[in-house]
Amino acid sequence: MASRDYGKREMELLGEVIQSGELGSLNGPFTHRFEAEFAAMMGSKHAVAMNCAMSVLHASVMSANAGAGTEVICDPVFIFGALACLYNNAIPRFVDIDPVRQTLDPSKLEAAINERTRAVIVTHAWGLPADMDPIVEIAHRYNLVVIEDIAHAILATYKGRYTGTLGDIGSFSFQASKQMSLGDGGMATTNDDELAEKLDLHAGAPTFRAVAYGMHYNYRMNELTAAVGIAQLEKLPSLIRGLQQNARYFDEAVRGCKWLVVQNAADSQHTYHFWSATFNGEEYGLSLDEFCRAANEANCGIHIGYTGMPAYHHPVIKDRLAHAFHCGSLKERVEYPDGLCPIAERVIPRMVLAYTLVPEDSAKWSAERLHNLIEKLGR
């Protein structure tokens, strides 16, 4: 069943934390236990728990040695990877997406790499992994760190391997809307011992270690959040099955519709933070405005258009509000013109999204109304 389940098991573990008197992770056992159990489930050598996924992304950028005067390649659909770069005064450089997968297109990656590039941040959109093998092959040829943003794609698989083990660092989110919610929180995964050490320092290793290594951050998860995480991890596989079942209702609802292209990839298993499709109605005489009006009238529980813009049209990048754009180490001005990523600019306003973490009856109801809308507009 795709629903939040907080109850006896969470209370039991929270009670143990309170009784221990150790709410901080430096002396308590629960955060370390959560890290170990998470790593074991994902098949990763290391896991480092942090207070939120943006902290994990920031720590990942720092661990890749991407700072002032350097660049990080990002996809243009989601702004979070770019923000993590800007946190550390690195400049984001955007690479367009595959129109069906809605993730970074590996065929366009190599052309964006230069002597300043330090890392590639790949977002697994809505729960579907990107085409990782060619991305990793190209990135490693240039000694770049591959950071997976897995905010949407926990337990998703690519060619039988879990997200978070496909690149060099995985960044998971436990924010309130995500598949596995702890209210907030994040986890980094890696199989690289050196990267694990860097991530652990930025998570908030003891002060004397940070002094020995240099300036680091304090992003450590607390014991209370970790206790809930241990309980939720036990329930995660069942939750994912519920999300996948709800997504199947939407797949069936649009089956045979020429102007809705469902996000998919034969080499991957989707875990559906959202079910997603792309509207291509203009090719069949149906405008986007007409579809939006009809969907609103039908009240079928879908959202059309996500943010309506690529990441580089958000003010922090378009208006160069971050210090990184004015840093003395910046060797040349990186431009973000309209048309930079034409596929993303077309697809984003046409994304059709349905939230899958709802009761099964609600998913069925919404999918049926979407099906009826398609029948009314014509397949």
Residues of the chain with pLDDT > 70, as a percent, come to 97
Residues of the chain with pLDDT > 90, as a percent, come to 90
- Structure confidence at residue 206 (pLDDT): 55
Average pLDDT over residues 245-266: 97
pLDDT at 211 over 60: no
- Structure confidence at residue 213 (pLDDT): 58
Task: For the beta carbon of residue 126, count every other beta carbon within 10 angstroms.
Answer: 25
pLDDT at 329 over 80: no
Q: Where are the alpha helices (DSSP H) in the chain?
A: 8-20, 30-42, 53-63, 80-87, 132-141, 193-204, 207-213, 223-254, 288-298, 315-318, 342-347, 360-377
Domain boundaries, the chain: 8-233, 237-307+343-377
The gap between the terminal CA atoms of the chain, to the nearest Å, is 31
- Structure confidence at residue 14 (pLDDT): 96
Does the fold of domain 237-307+343-377 match that of domain 8-233?
Answer: no
Q: For domain 8-233, which architecture applies? A: 3-Layer(aba) Sandwich (3.40)
Average pLDDT over residues 8-31: 93
Give the confidence band of 273 by pLDDT, cuts at 50, 70, 90.
very high
The CA distance from 190 to 172, in Å, is 12
Which one has a higher pLDDT value, 156 or 329? Answer: 156
- Structure confidence at residue 189 (pLDDT): 98
Q: For domain 237-307+343-377, which architecture applies? A: Alpha-Beta Complex (3.90)
Average pLDDT over residues 271-295: 97
- Structure confidence at residue 25 (pLDDT): 85
Q: For residues 12 and 251, is the Cβ–Cβ distance under 8 A?
A: no
Average pLDDT over residues 364-368: 97
- Structure confidence at residue 355 (pLDDT): 97
pLDDT at 309 over 80: yes
- Structure confidence at residue 331 (pLDDT): 73
Give the confidence band of 205 by pLDDT, cuts at 50, 70, 90.
low
